[in-house]
């Protein structure tokens, strides 16, 4: 079997989404067959089609090496960098052997595969004050920042502003005003930076905004879409945790109350009790929450959805009135997790979508991890107190697990 890069050119069929809003014509599909080595990129394929068959095909690109973020498109329905998607892989993912290439979603099309990043993506980035507001007094020389703090924000600094996460964001599809994954990841870049002077102001602003951090539906689409493993949803969850736990921000959107109600219900019942979630989120985090006027108001406005669910058999009156039950020993195990996490003196934030500490790793000869060789975060300094090797991602910037 020859090396991937030694394989001879092959023919690939492309199906391109074409649209010129200025023409007044509807979008349509256009097919071309190009010839390239299988390891070459989808971007090269589109450029060949443009060069050989139709010079009017619109695509944006610059670096051609997954750095500038300008060639974001959808390949076979999934967001991707055209220059970072091999033709053979794209063909394998095609439903009928034809590689389908479309413009990104959630942004208006300027022409063919080019979307208006200014109109959506950059507008949202500007919304989060994307620069450092320096702590005063400014030191005579440079600010000294710990390695841990820099590792913490490195993940968001890896963003190349390609818009793939914006393209796939389900919350933005429903609410185009949502600040969105890329901009909120950018916001974490400054909230996590100890040199910034406006952590509270930034968090309060993003928490109180009805289209801010609590508008994310936690769907993981941006995590999968990101070609640089920025994990935007993880950064949004971290913004929430810092806003709630460290700055005690209670937002007008009931986001903080919703989280508190959610965790209390799981702690008390082992499973989520959906019928209690709404009244507690609006009326207060206890069984009596449902009698508070804001809960009643919200219940009334949700009546059509509740009735629809009842008619379709998605909920039953008894199922709504009684909490779901799990076996006693399982409930005890769930509560033991809460006790353990809540008894810890400090929360330890990682560059991942998790919080907490692991048990100390028992030393075992010959095991470099257990022997403490990796007790470092991005350098030669020891990890923060209480942290263990398994607390850290294998690489600060490497693949993240949601
Ligand atoms: S997790 Fe949140 S920000 Fe990410 S795509 Fe889903 S709704 Fe959007
Ligand atoms: S977070 Fe990832 S997907 Fe979103 S703009 Fe940045 S690099 Fe692209
Ligand atoms: S051309 Fe720069 S990321 Fe693809």
Residue 59 Cα to ligand 3 midpoint, Å, equals 11
CA distance 147 to 331: 40
Q: Relative to the CA of 63, which ligand 3 atom is closest?
A: 2
Q: What is the CATH number of the domain that holds 57?
A: 3.10.20.30
Q: Relative to the CA of 219, which ligand 1 atom is closest?
A: 6
In a domain, residue 392? The reply is no
Higher pLDDT, 112 or 343: 112
Tell me, yes or no, whether 16 and 83 share the same domain.
yes
Tell me, yes or no, whether 199 and 309 share the same domain.
no
Residue 352 Cα to ligand 2 midpoint, Å, equals 16
Q: Is the CB of 223 under 6 A from ligand 2?
A: no
Q: How big is the chain, counted in residues?
A: 402
Instruction: Provide the pLDDT for residue 350.
Output: 60
Tell me, yes or no, whether 177 and 234 share the same domain.
yes
Tell me, yes or no, whether 129 and 241 share the same domain.
yes
Say if CB 380 and CB 148 are below 8 A apart: no
Ligand nearest to the Cα of 163, by number: 2
Q: Relative to the CA of 162, which ligand 3 atom is closest?
A: 3
Closest CA relative to residue 70, chosen from 78, 81, 79: 81
Tell me, yes or no, whether 306 and 325 share the same domain.
yes
Ligand nearest to the Cα of 237, by number: 1
Tell me, yes or no, whether 231 and 134 share the same domain.
yes
CA distance 209 to 222: 21
Instruction: Provide the pLDDT for residue 19.
Output: 98
In a domain, residue 181? The reply is yes
Tell me, yes or no, whether 286 and 184 share the same domain.
no
Domain end: 76, 94, 115, which one? 115
In a domain, residue 402? The reply is no
Q: Relative to the CA of 220, which ligand 1 atom is closest?
A: 1
In a domain, residue 334? The reply is yes
Mean pLDDT to the nearest integer, 273-279: 86
Residue 35's DSSP bridge partners are 11
Q: Is residue 17 helix, strand or coil? A: strand
Q: Tokens 């040199």 label which residue? A: 195
Mean pLDDT to the nearest integer, 173-177: 96
Mean pLDDT to the nearest integer, 217-241: 95
Say if CB 91 and CB 97 are below 8 A apart: yes
Please count the structural domains in the chain. Answer: 3
Tell me, yes or no, whether 88 and 176 share the same domain.
no
Ligand 1 site: residues with CB under 6 angstroms? 168-171, 181, 216-222, 232-233, 236
Q: Is the CB of 67 under 6 A from ligand 3?
A: yes
In a domain, residue 375? The reply is no
- Statement: residue 381 has pLDDT above 50: no
Tell me, yes or no, whether 129 and 107 share the same domain.
no
Range of 130's domain?
Answer: 118-246
> Residue of the nearest CA to atom 2 in ligand 2?
226
Q: Relative to the CA of 72, which ligand 3 atom is closest?
A: 4
> Please, which pLDDT band fits residue 377 given cuts at 50, 70 and 90?
very low
What mean pLDDT is reported for the chain?
86
Q: Is the CB of 79 under 6 A from ligand 2?
A: no
Closest CA relative to residue 81, chosen from 100, 96, 67: 67
Mean pLDDT to the nearest integer, 140-167: 91
Q: What is the CATH number of the domain that holds 218?
A: 1.10.1060.10
Q: Is the CB of 239 under 6 A from ligand 2?
A: no
Q: Go through 31-60 and write b for each residue having 16 or more CB atoms within 10 A of its CB, e for each that does not.
A: ebebebbbebbbbbbbbbbbeeeeeebbbb
Residue 212 Cα to ligand 2 midpoint, Å, equals 18
Tell me, yes or no, whether 85 and 29 share the same domain.
yes
Domain end: 246, 277, 310, which one? 246
Domain end: 90, 115, 140, which one? 115
Tell me, yes or no, whether 140 and 101 share the same domain.
no
Tell me, yes or no, whether 172 and 267 share the same domain.
no
Q: Relative to the CA of 121, which ligand 2 atom is closest?
A: 5
Q: Is the CB of 61 under 6 A from ligand 3?
A: yes
Model pLDDT for residues 66-122, shown as the tens digit of each residue = 999 999 999 999 999 999 999 999 999 999 999 999 999 999 999 999 999 999 999
């Amino acid at each position: 079997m020859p090396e991937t890069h030694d394989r001879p050119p092959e023919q690939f069929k492309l199906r391109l989404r074409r649209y010129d809003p200025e023409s007044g014509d509807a979008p349509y599909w256009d097919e071309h067959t190009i010839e390239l080595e299988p390891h070459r990129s989808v971007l090269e394929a589109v450029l060949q089609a443009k060069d050989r068959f139709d010079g009017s095909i619109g695509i944006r690109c610059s670096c051609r090496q997954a750095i500038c973020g300008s060639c974001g498109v959808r390949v076979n329905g999934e967001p991707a960098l055209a220059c970072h998607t091999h033709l053979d892989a794209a063909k394998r993912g095609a439903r009928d052997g034809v590689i389908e290439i479309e413009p990104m979603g959630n942004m208006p099309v300027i022409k063919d595969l080019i979307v208006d990043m200014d109109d959506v993506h950059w507008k949202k980035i500007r919304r989060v004050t994307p620069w450092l507001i320096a702590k005063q007094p400014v030191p005579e020389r440079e600010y000294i920042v710990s390695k841990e703090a820099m590792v913490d924000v490195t993940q968001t600094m890896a963003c190349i502003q390609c818009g793939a996460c914006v393209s796939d964001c389900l919350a933005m599809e429903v609410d185009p005003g949502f600040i969105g994954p890329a901009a909120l990841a950018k916001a974490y870049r400054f909230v996590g930076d100890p040199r910034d002077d406006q952590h509270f102001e930034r968090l309060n602003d993003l928490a109180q905004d009805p289209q801010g951090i609590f508008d994310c539906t936690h769907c993981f689409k941006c995590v999968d879409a990101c070609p640089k493993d920025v994990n935007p949803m993880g950064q949004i969850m971290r913004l929430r945790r810092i806003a709630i736990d460290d700055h005690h921000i209670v937002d007008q959107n009931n986001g903080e109350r919703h989280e508190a109600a959610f965790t209390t219900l799981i702690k008390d019942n082992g499973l989520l009790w959906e019928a209690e979630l709404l009244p507690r989120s609006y009326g207060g985090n206890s069984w009596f929450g449902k009698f508070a006027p804001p809960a009643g108001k919200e219940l009334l406005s949700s009546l059509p959805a509740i009735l629809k669910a009842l008619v379709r058999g998605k909920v039953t009156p008894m199922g709504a009135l009684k909490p779901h039950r799990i076996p006693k020993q399982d409930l005890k195990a769930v509560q033991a997790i809460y006790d353990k996490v809540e008894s810890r003196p400090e929360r330890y934030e990682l560059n991942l979508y998790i919080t907490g500490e692991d048990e100390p790793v028992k030393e075992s000869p010959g095991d470099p991890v257990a022997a403490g060789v990796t007790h470092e975060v991005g350098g030669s300094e020891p990890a923060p107190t209480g942290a263990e090797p398994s607390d850290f991602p294998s690489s600060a910037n490497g693949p993240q697990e949601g």
